[in-house]
């Protein structure tokens, strides 16, 4: 736990200055954010102060040094033969931001003197981009996303095989009612800490979103994201279908594919079948708008795939022709034989055809929700790094300073300011907090060479050697194997 000296009121309360709310906290109680508490007249940081290490011997397991945990393989030293990185998780904030960052840590890495400046930033300008791997239609673009009837964001442009949400942002956090801001903040906190959030989309679905888990749409857990659009599916599996069928229709809300008309079918020498598909024809074998969007076959609103077909042309269609209709995930499929009246009759799927249909599903990836925290760090927290904040921004742009969040690699958006985005699955657990202003509290670290830090006009007098932090660290976590090491020299211009 991290303790701060604060003024104590006559009634024994502490006034916390960690954020603009400035709570008065009674003995034994926590502030409104549940991150700071009054313990014996001292302001105590409740959450664990976290470092990460490269430790191969534990095989990726999380190692926590907390009371009651006995780990005999640990020799009692924070700094071992593996590199160690101090994250901003549990480090505290800099409010009011003229103060130096809570920890400015110096250490050697590859014989280079490095500095890592860590701060839990208070982000009013923040949100989450959510990627939902599903073919289902969840709501029209720009439809509001609601939690407890309050708008927290909107549906944005869909991507290949995924629906996308843009949530939070300053307009929802501060630009609406007090209730809207509070609920938006609560939803963002849960999402960023990998918890489930129930949402309702205007003119759309009820959905449960949780990072790293499959979405639950209208009470049904999704299993697969689509292998591709209908046209792409035809291209992938045309050769496998050709010996067993005369026609294949891959139903898709966006681009429905028809094998005999498709270029893949033409190259395989498949003759016309006289099939007629409703919708707007694009290029041969590709149809748009065959049905309305929905949660049925291929992201359409249909349960009966024959509803997208018109009468077959008798000039080409023949009784006995074999027709396969399948969705872009392979979860729905049906096999038909044309009768004497050229009407498709549902028939049992031939065993020779079944493996190719199953291969559609086999090639689909699992349906998951991905949550990316996005925040603007171009504000006053930069004063915790240097007395001339613009020098930090320039240093980042010139790749002299590396930005990370809880040790995880952060994508830096081009353009002005310091706008970062990070996958919450790559951060240690419970990395995010909140303050009831409302705003999220997110870890952010700036790492650079000590010489560059001095040239920047950084708070050199506040550099603390890594070894001196041993007694203050509550938790040590092994870095995720998929993450690049925060102090990797490839991140910098050495």
Residues 6+ apart with CB under 8 A from 180: 150, 151, 152, 172
- pLDDT band of residue 259 (cuts 50, 70, 90) is very high
Task: Give the integer Cα–Cα distance in Å for 486 and 273.
Answer: 59
What would the pLDDT profile of 150-163 be if each residue is shown by its tens digit? 999 999 999 999 99
Mean pLDDT score, 77-104: 81
Beta strands at 419-423 and 411-412: parallel, antiparallel or unpaired: antiparallel
Identify the pLDDT of residue 67. Answer: 45
Identify the pLDDT of residue 63. Answer: 44
- pLDDT band of residue 193 (cuts 50, 70, 90) is very high
What would the pLDDT profile of 48-87 be if each residue is shown by its tens digit? 899 988 765 444 444 444 444 444 455 455 444 468 899 9
SS3 label, residue 334: strand
pLDDT at 270 over 60: yes
pLDDT, mean over the chain: 90
pLDDT at 271 over 60: yes
What would the pLDDT profile of 312-346 be if each residue is shown by its tens digit? 999 999 999 999 999 999 999 999 999 999 999 99
Mean pLDDT score, 375-391: 92
Residues 6+ apart with CB under 8 A from 374: 126, 127, 128, 129, 419, 420, 421
The encoded tokens of residue 331 equal: 């979860």
pLDDT at 169 over 90: yes
The encoded tokens of residue 162 equal: 């995924």
pLDDT at 149 over 50: yes
Query: Which one, of 354, 336, 338, lies nearest residue 249 by Cα?
Result: 336
pLDDT at 411 over 60: yes
Residues 6+ apart with CB under 8 A from 283: none
8-state DSSP, 153: E
């Amino acid at each position: 736990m991290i303790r701060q000296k604060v003024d104590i009121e006559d009634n024994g309360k502490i006034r916390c200055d960690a954020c603009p709310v400035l709570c008065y906290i009674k003995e034994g109680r926590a502030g409104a954010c549940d991150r700071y508490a009054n313990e014996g007249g001292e302001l105590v940081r409740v959450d664990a102060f976290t470092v990460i290490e490269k430790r191969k011997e534990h095989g990726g397991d999380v190692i926590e040094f907390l009371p009651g945990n006995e780990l005999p393989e640990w020799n009692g030293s924070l700094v071992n033969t593996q590199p160690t990185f101090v994250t901003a998780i549990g480090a505290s904030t800099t409010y009011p931001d003229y103060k130096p960052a809570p920890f400015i840590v110096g250490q050697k890495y590859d014989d280079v003197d490095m500095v890592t400046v860590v701060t839990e930033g208070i982000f009013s300008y923040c949100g989450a981009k959510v990627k939902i791997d599903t073919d289902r239609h969840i709501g029209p673009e720009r439809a509001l996303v609601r939690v407890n009837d309050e708008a927290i964001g909107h549906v944005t442009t869909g991507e290949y095989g995924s629906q996308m949400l843009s949530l939070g942002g300053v307009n929802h956090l501060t630009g609406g009612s007090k209730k809207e801001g509070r609920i938006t903040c609560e939803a963002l906190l849960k999402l960023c800490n990998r918890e489930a959030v129930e949402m309702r989309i205007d003119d759309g679905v009820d959905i449960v979103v949780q990072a790293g888990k499959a979405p639950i749409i209208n009470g049904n857990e999704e299993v697969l994201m689509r292998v591709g659009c209908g046209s792409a599916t035809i291209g992938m599996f045309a050769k496998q279908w050709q010996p067993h069928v005369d026609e294949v229709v891959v139903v898709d809300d966006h681009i429905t594919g028809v094998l005999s008309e498709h270029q893949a079918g033409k190259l395989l020498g498949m003759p016309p079948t006289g099939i007629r598909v409703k919708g707007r024809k694009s290029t041969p074998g590709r149809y748009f708008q065959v049905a309305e969007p929905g949660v049925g076959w291929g992201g359409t609103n249909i349960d009966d795939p024959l509803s997208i077909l018109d009468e077959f042309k008798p000039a080409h269609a023949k009784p006995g022709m074999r027709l396969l209709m399948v969705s872009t995930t392979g979860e729905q499929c049906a096999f038909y034989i044309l009768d004497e009246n050229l009407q498709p009759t549902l028939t049992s799927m031939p065993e020779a055809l079944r493996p190719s249909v199953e291969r559609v599903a086999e090639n689909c990836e699992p349906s998951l929700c991905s949550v990316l925290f996005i925040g603007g760090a171009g504000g006053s927290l930069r004063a915790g790094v240097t007395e001339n904040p613009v020098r930090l921004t320039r240093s980042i742009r010139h790749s002299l300073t590396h930005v990370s969040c809880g040790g995880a690699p952060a994508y830096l958006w081009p353009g002005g300011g310091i706008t970062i985005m990070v996958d919450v699955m790559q951060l240690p657990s419970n990395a995010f907090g909140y303050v009831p202003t409302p705003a999220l509290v997110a870890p952010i670290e700036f790492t650079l060479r000590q010489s560059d830090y001095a040239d920047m006009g950084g708070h050199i007098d506040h550099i603390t050697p890594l070894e001196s932090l041993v007694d203050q660290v509550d938790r040590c976590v092994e870095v995720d194997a998929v993450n690049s090491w925060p102090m990797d020299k490839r991140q910098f211009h050495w």
